[in-house]
Every structure is written in C-alpha cells, then in structure tokens.
Chain A
Amino acid sequence: MIRIAELACGPEYSGIQKEIERAAEKVGAKIVYPEVSLEDILNVEKKFGVKVASGDLNLAMARAVRIIENPDLADAVIVMTCFRCAEAAIIRSEIRKFIHEKSRLPVLSYSFTERTTAETLFTRMEALVTTVKFRGLLARESQKGLTAGIDSGSTTTKSVVMKNNQVIGTGWVPTIEVIQSAEDAYDAALSAAGVNRADIQGLGVTGYGRFLVGKHFDAKLVQEEITVNAKGAVFLANAQKGSATVIDIGGMDNKAIAVHDGIPGGFTMGGICAGASGRFLELTARRLGIDITDLGKLALKGNYENVSMNSYCIVFGTQSLVNSLSMGCKPEDVAMAACHSVAEQVYEQQLQEVEVKEPVIMVGGTSLIEGLPKAMESLLNINVIVPRYAQFVGAVGASLLVSGLLEG
C-alpha cells in the first residue's frame, strides 16, 4: 500500500480529516503521520531554518525533517493548510520546497476550506499514487505499436491514434453526452488514421469522464490527467530528460506540474474561479462576436494595458469585459486583456506552488489561443513552448502510456 505522509495544519478542526483519509483509501493509499519527538519540534528551527507561532506548523516542519532523514517512512507527501492563512501559506510553500530539494518524493500542496471533500482531493491523490506506483511506466519515453488515447475533458473530448511514436490521426469534439462524445472523437481519430477499431492494440483513457469512458471501451489504461498530461507534454515537446514545467489551462480547472525525467515531482490542480480558466476566454470570444479559434490571433494585435480587466471572479471579469467595450476599448485590446488576466491568475495562484523550471510547456486547447502563451511568457519572462498537438496532450499521453502495457 502506498503511504502518503500528511504534513498539515488545521484539517481536523476544519472537519475534513476524514475526507483526506477517504480520498487516500479510494486510491489504495494510506495516510501516515511521521512520528516526531518533542525535542524535534522545539529544535525545528535548527534543521528546517524557521519556527513559527503556530504549534501545528512547527509539527509539520518537524515531520518534513523526519521524512528527509528517514526516506523510508513515506512514498509521497501531501502538504495541506487552511486557505487564507498567511503564516500557513508561507510554511506550506517552504515545506514543499524542502521536500522537493532534498528528496525525490512526489509532493502535493493544497490549501483547503471546510468545503473540501474526498471528491475534490481524489484526482490529486490518484496522481500521487500513480507517480509512485507506476514510476516505471511513466519513465517510458516512446510509443510502440498501434495504440489510441481518449481524453474525456469537461469541455471537449479529444482522441488520437498513434503508430510507432507518431500521431497518425486525431479527433476533437465538444463534450456533450460523455460516451457519445468519446465515440465520435475516437471514430474521427480512427478515420483520420485510416485504421479500424479492431486493429488498435491498446486504448488509454484520461480526463473527467475517464471511468465512464474507460468502462465503455474496456480500456487497458484508465488514468488521471495530471500524470498523463505531464507525460504527453514532455513527449510532444521533446523534453523527456531533465526538468520541465507543464501548464494546462483547462475548461474547468488548471494544472501546473513540475516534471523531472518525465515524472511529476510536484503539482497543483485547481483555480479559484472559472475566471481563471478557458471558460472566461470562451465567454470573451462570444461577447466579441468571434469564434474562440480567432481570439488568440486578435489578442496578438492588442495591448492588455489599455484595458482594466480582472477576471479573479468570472462575474466581475464579465463586468470588466462589458464595461471596457462600452467605453470604446478596441476588441483586440480586450482580447489580450482577457488572455493576460487568465494567465496572471494562473501565475499568481498556481505557479507559486510549483518549482517553475525551463522549458515551460503550455498544453491543452487554450494553449492554441496565441495570446495566452504570449501573456504567460511576459509574466514569467521565459520562452513558453506550445508543441504540435498540444490540444491532444491527454490523448497522446494515454496512447503513449498504454503502449507500455502491451509488452510482456
């Protein structure tokens, strides 16, 4: 059983400890609490570098030190503190860095409220477990044989067919009815590749609808989108060796993943509001009366500084959008401001929670909205790579990984 060490402050008094344990149990893992002595806590500053006023945070730091000194105590780590606590936010980030720098244990960092449920934590825990359990599979660098992948996303369903390390067919449809959309995307990919369904040696499935779709197709691989997208991204960007950072701004949530040798080391998944996701860009395109596929090109002609836009909340973001247009702002400036606002929130809320190392790879459908990677580049001051087939990243990752299950 995979042991996930919980380094936390506040979950018992927030009433969510049971949810954490339930999520772990659901993915076949067990939450463990590394034992520390009173002396370890009193002397935490000597080994960790700081002590704070809150006893539970000192305990969490002492446990982090204990894990580094005794790596056999856990297989993965979750660092969890209350949302909106400044003291905890600082220490949560420092613990994550501490573990990341001094070990190869995968780390999940999360700030919770009393509304955090096992379901919220499930995909994140699943990714931690996958990273530990299927390290060998995740280390796979090339696709072999004839395999396919389906990414059943919240907004769109994508599918690819791959043969001998090449994408030979793709399919992309809006997600309406989950199974039918998967059927349509898969058929489109098969047709583009010119192969029959019966010829496919292995099918991998990921995304929100993965369990339903996986069962329907009797898929060989059903895996969460964090490890799959990370794998797909480094494969497509030819960045499988060394460090990389993957950013996937999705229709419903965003992922920021620090990858090393193709395996996620730390990641965050979430987003405060739809204002920080692809949904806001869809809404912007609709309000500007253009197709979403034209939004990026329009944005590249604009300047975000000419428009006051803050999409921290999608409602207020929409208000900014309407106000700016009614004040006569140019559509191209509004388009770029929307891209900048989304990128800024991902930068502020999620990229602070992972180690950003080059190359930075943007994937998912939103990466094709050219203004978005450009906005991210200006915020990070780093060149952002958008690989070919970036919008099919999950399907490519699933197709690549499932080929690893065909051997032996």
Chain B
Amino acid sequence: MAKVIVYPLTSTILADLVERMGHESLVIPTEVRKKIISTSIDSPPLNITPDDPKKGLKWAAVDVPSGVRGRMAIIGPLIEAAEAAIIIDDPGCLTGCSGCNRANELVRLLIKTKGIPVLEMNYPEDENEARGFVRKIKIFLEGLK
C-alpha cells in the first residue's frame, strides 16, 4: 500500500479511486476533519488558527500570502508523506475545488519536484476519455503495489 497524494487535493473522485485500489489517499478533507475532531473549535469553520500560516513558513516564505501559507500547513505534510501522486491538469472547480490558485501552483511544483512516481493527465471530456482516464489511473496504482 502506497500513500498517494492527489491533485486537486479536494478531489473525492480521485481519492475514491486510490482507496478502491488499496492505497491510502492523501487529501485535504481528511486533514481538516482531524483538526475539527481532535482539538477544540478555535476558529470555525475549519478550525485553522493564526498559528497555521506560521507553520506554513516551512514551505513558503513570509512574503507569500497568509492564505497560501495556511493551506501549506495542511498540505505540506501530505506532500512530505506522499510516495506517489496523481495530478489532473486544468481540473476546473467541479473536479475538486481549491480556492487559491497560488497555493495550487506551489503544491503542483512541490509534488512534481519531489522525485516520486507521478501520473499527470487531463480531465476527461467525454465517456471514452473517462474510461481511458480510469484505466490509466488503475494501471498506475497497480504498478505501485
């Protein structure tokens, strides 16, 4: 079983495919859930406090916007833990919405430069492409076993 980070990091479609193939998916909702159920509700709705953007300094400099650094406090450890990655280029908000494109750019860069196996593809636009999309992901994930 490999730890597979998916991009966009909120994609339930990709997370589901990874889990079905017996791997662990690394996605934001799981991490946010941990923050909400393991600590007191400091700062609803996500329970992110001003300390998180400071933790994000490990991945982004102080002159990077605080919203990017706050996201990196959650995403950075996922990238560090990742053993493989699936990246969907030009995903659109329907694939999995991530609000800040500056954070998205940094995340894609860090994943691609980590030196782990990466499957990069476009989001399918019709049924045929969708079948090919799932097939390619399946083959990639099987290769990780």
Q: Given A88-B65, A113-B66, A114-B70, is A13 in contact with B52 using a C-beta cutoff of 8 Å? A: yes
Q: Determine the chain A residues whose CB is within 8 A of the CB of B63 once the complex forms.
A: 84
Contact with A along B64-84 (1 / 0, CB 8 A): 111111110000000000000
- Bound complex: CA A85 to CA B54 (Å): 17
The yes or no answer to A230 lying at the interface (CB within 8 A) is no
**Nearest chain B CB to A64 CB, angstrom units:** 16
Q: Determine the chain B residues whose CB is within 8 A of the CB of A82 once the complex forms.
A: 65-68
Interface hub of B66, B93, B97, B99 (most chain A Cβ within 10 A): B66
Q: Given A15-B48, A84-B63, is A114 in contact with B102 using a C-beta cutoff of 8 Å? A: no
**Nearest chain B CB to A59 CB, angstrom units:** 7
Chain B, Cβ-Cβ closest to A59: B99
**Nearest chain A CB to B53 CB, angstrom units:** 4
Say yes or no: A17 contacts B44, CB within 8 Å.
Answer: yes
The yes or no answer to B43 lying at the interface (CB within 8 A) is yes
**Nearest chain B CB to A294 CB, angstrom units:** 39
- Bound complex: CA A15 to CA B93 (Å): 23
Contacts between chains A and B (CB distance < 8 A), count: 102
The yes or no answer to A83 lying at the interface (CB within 8 A) is yes
**Would you call the interface of chain B mostly helix, strand, loop, or mixed?**
loop
Say yes or no: B99 contacts A56, CB within 8 Å.
Answer: yes
The yes or no answer to B31 lying at the interface (CB within 8 A) is no
Say yes or no: A52 contacts B65, CB within 8 Å.
Answer: no
**Nearest chain B CB to A214 CB, angstrom units:** 31
**Nearest chain B CB to A20 CB, angstrom units:** 10
The yes or no answer to A12 lying at the interface (CB within 8 A) is yes
Q: Given A17-B43, A18-B44, is A87 in contact with B101 using a C-beta cutoff of 8 Å? A: yes
The yes or no answer to B122 lying at the interface (CB within 8 A) is no
**Nearest chain B CB to A132 CB, angstrom units:** 25
Say yes or no: B44 contacts A83, CB within 8 Å.
Answer: no
Chain A, Cβ-Cβ closest to B63: A84
Q: Given A54-B99, A55-B99, A85-B102, is A15 in contact with B65 using a C-beta cutoff of 8 Å? A: no
The yes or no answer to A53 lying at the interface (CB within 8 A) is yes
The yes or no answer to A10 lying at the interface (CB within 8 A) is yes
Say yes or no: B52 contacts A12, CB within 8 Å.
Answer: no
Interface hub of A11, A38, A82, A112 (most chain B Cβ within 10 A): A82
The yes or no answer to B42 lying at the interface (CB within 8 A) is yes
Q: Given A13-B52, A15-B49, A18-B43, is A83 in contact with B93 using a C-beta cutoff of 8 Å? A: no
- Bound complex: CA A137 to CA B97 (Å): 45
Say yes or no: B101 contacts A9, CB within 8 Å.
Answer: no
**Nearest chain B CB to A55 CB, angstrom units:** 5
Say yes or no: A10 contacts B101, CB within 8 Å.
Answer: no
Chain A, Cβ-Cβ closest to B101: A53
Chain B, Cβ-Cβ closest to A117: B50
Say yes or no: B102 contacts A14, CB within 8 Å.
Answer: no
Q: Determine the chain B residues whose CB is within 8 A of the CB of A41 once the complex forms.
A: 93
The yes or no answer to A115 lying at the interface (CB within 8 A) is yes
The yes or no answer to A16 lying at the interface (CB within 8 A) is yes
Say yes or no: A114 contacts B66, CB within 8 Å.
Answer: yes
Say yes or no: B93 contacts A55, CB within 8 Å.
Answer: yes
Q: Given A15-B49, A55-B97, is A112 in contact with B102 using a C-beta cutoff of 8 Å? A: no
The yes or no answer to B12 lying at the interface (CB within 8 A) is no
List 12 A-B residue pairs with CB atoms under 8 Å apart, sorted by A's residue number. Answer: A9-B67, A11-B67, A13-B71, A14-B48, A14-B50, A14-B67, A16-B66, A18-B44, A52-B101, A55-B93, A82-B67, A87-B101
